[in-house]
Structures are given as structure tokens and as C-alpha cells.
Amino acid sequence: MCVCVCVFYRCFGITLMCAFLLGSNLCSIIYYMYVPYTIKTVCYVLEIRCIAPENIPNGKYSQMLNQTFPVRTTLTWSCTEGYTSEQNKSRVCQSNLNWTNEEPTCTEITCQFPDIFSNGELEVTNGSMFRSGYVPYNTRAIVVCEEGFLPDPPAIACTSNSTWDTTPTCSPIMCERLGSVTGGYFVYSNTSDQTAASIHAYGTVATVVCNDTLFKASEGQLICGLNGDWIGSESIRVCGRCIIPVNRIKKIAFFVKSTS
């Protein structure tokens, strides 16, 4: 395929137009010179130019304002966001009218889903669950954990280097050991040794046991909840003695005296 290129020059103050055809490393030259017949000197000027390269799918050249480029012109290119290439990012117009380096190719950036991890799975933003396969760059995956476990971190993202920004895990929810009980102690449902465990897993039930001669101020239990806090009334932490009102003491004393 041949392309006609026109270049204008001035020679001795006279405008000349050189028109030539480009193609297959050959130039068929036609000169159109608008000069008076009295002028004997003619300037023969020929400029070889490369045709602009084709557009890059999912990429672009930095300088594409012209349709043709002089020999030794350097064009740089890049891929659009979400695509990448390992090729040389510059091309030079050669005297044989070809551009150096191969045609640019941009490939989509993807991340492979992480291997299955304990007590959880990943959910991408479109709501689908994945255990294998690939997803595009910048995809966010939500870490979904089984009951009793917390995600760390809550979400991960596919980065530009085809890797995830971190490794997801699901950690067990733990509650710190409860403090002391006035006149008693706690019994935990997940251990028989009440002095051994310093933390307790989600769902553990803590029950107050009062010392001899004491009673619970309130019935109930504390449960290790989803946020790592104990859930329940704080009033169960107190054990006390039975307190008899004064008027009851007088009645009891009168009854004892009357029966004696």
C-alpha cells in the first residue's frame, strides 16, 4: 500500500512542493515546482517519513498528533490501567520506513485466587464465591469467616503486579479471662482446670460459684461474644450473705421468747 506525502520547502525564496509515494522501501518521486522559467537553479529535497503505527489495544502512544514521522523519531508507549507488557516501551522510525521493535501487546493483569484457608473463604464484590481461578486487577475480595472467627484483614485486593496485597486469615475470637468474684469464683464451660486458661474462645460460658455460706446476688451467666467481649449482667459477679431485715429479727426474737 502506498501513501502520498507532500512536503513544502522554500528554495531561494521560492516555494517548492515535493510530492512522493511511500511503500515497500521505495519512493516514487513527483516534483511540482512553482517557479518562473527564468530561474535555472532548482532545489531537489526529499524527506523520508514513517507512517504512524497502528493503535495499541488497551494501550497508547505518548505522541500521536501526526500521521507521519521523520526518520529517527522515537515514540514511547504504555498500557492502560489494568493491563501490562514486558516489551520494550519505545519504537524508532528507521530509514527503511519501519519502526523498531515488535508491535506492542498489552495483556490483562489478573490475580489467582489464594489457596483455601482454614475457617473461611473469599467473596468478590459481585457476590460470587471463589475457591480457584483468576480475577482482574483491582478486584476486592471480602474475607468471610465461619462463626467464632474474625477476618484479618476484612478484605484483600488484586494489585498491579498480579499479587494480592496481603494473605487472608480467620483467627478465633477470644475473650480475656474474667476478673475476680466477690465471695466466689468463675467456672468456665470450656475447661475443667479453672486456673489454667488465660483466654477463652467464642461461645464459652462463665458461671459464678459462691463460697460456702454465701449466695449469688443474681442468677445468670456471662458468654464470650462475637466482639471478644463477655456478654451478660455484671451483677452476677457478687456473692453475699443472707441479710435479715431488723423488723424480721424482732419478730423472730419475739417468737422464740413466746415459745420458751
| 52-108: CATH class | mainly beta
- Contact present, 59 and 82 (Cβ < 8 Å): no
Location of each CATH 2.10.70.10 domain in the chain:
52-108, 110-172, 175-240
The two beta strands, 149-152 and 169-172, are: antiparallel
CB 49 within 8 A of CB 76: no
Q: Mean pLDDT across the chain, nearest whole number?
A: 74
pLDDT at 244: 44
Tens-digit pLDDT profile for residues 151-210: 999 999 999 999 999 999 999 999 988 887 878 888 888 765 555 567 888 999 988 888
Give the type of residue at 113: F
Where residue 122 falls among pLDDT bands split at 50, 70, 90?
confident
User: How many Cα atoms are found within 13 Å in the side-chain-facing hemisphere of 212?
Assistant: 0
* Amino acid occupying residue 16: L
Helix/strand/coil for 247: helix
| β partners of residue 84 | 107
State the pLDDT at residue 28: 33
**Closest among 142, 144, 140, 141 to 120, alpha carbons compared:** 144
Q: Which CATH class is domain 175-240?
A: mainly beta
Asked if omega into 153 is within 30° of 0 (cis), the reply is yes
- pLDDT number for residue 91: 95
Q: How confident is the model at residue 135 (pLDDT cuts 50, 70, 90)?
A: confident
Dig out the grid coordinates for 200 from the structure. Answer: 477463652
Q: Does the pTM exceed 0.85?
A: no
Asked if residue 35 has pLDDT above 50, the reply is: no
CA angle in degrees (0–180, nearest 5) for 198-203-204: 40
Whether pLDDT at 238 is above 50: yes
pLDDT in tens, 87-99: 999 999 998 889 9
For the chain, how are helix, strand and coil distributed in percent, rounded to 5? 5, 45, 50
Query: Could you write out the DSSP letters of every residue in 128-190?
Result: -EESSSEEETT-EEEEEE-TTEEEESSEEEB-TTSSBSS--EEEEPEEEPP--BBTEEEEETT
Q: What is the architecture of the domain spanning 110-172?
A: Ribbon (2.10)
pLDDT at 129 over 90: no
- The predicted structure's pLDDT at residue 251: 45
The candidate with the shortest Cα–Cα distance to 166, out of 150, 179, 153, is 153
Task: Quote the CA–CA distance of 215 and 240 in Å, as a whole number.
Answer: 5
Cα–Cα distance list, 190 to 120, 175, 197, 201, 224 (Å): 23, 12, 9, 8, 11
Q: Alpha-carbon Rg of the chain, whole angstroms?
A: 43
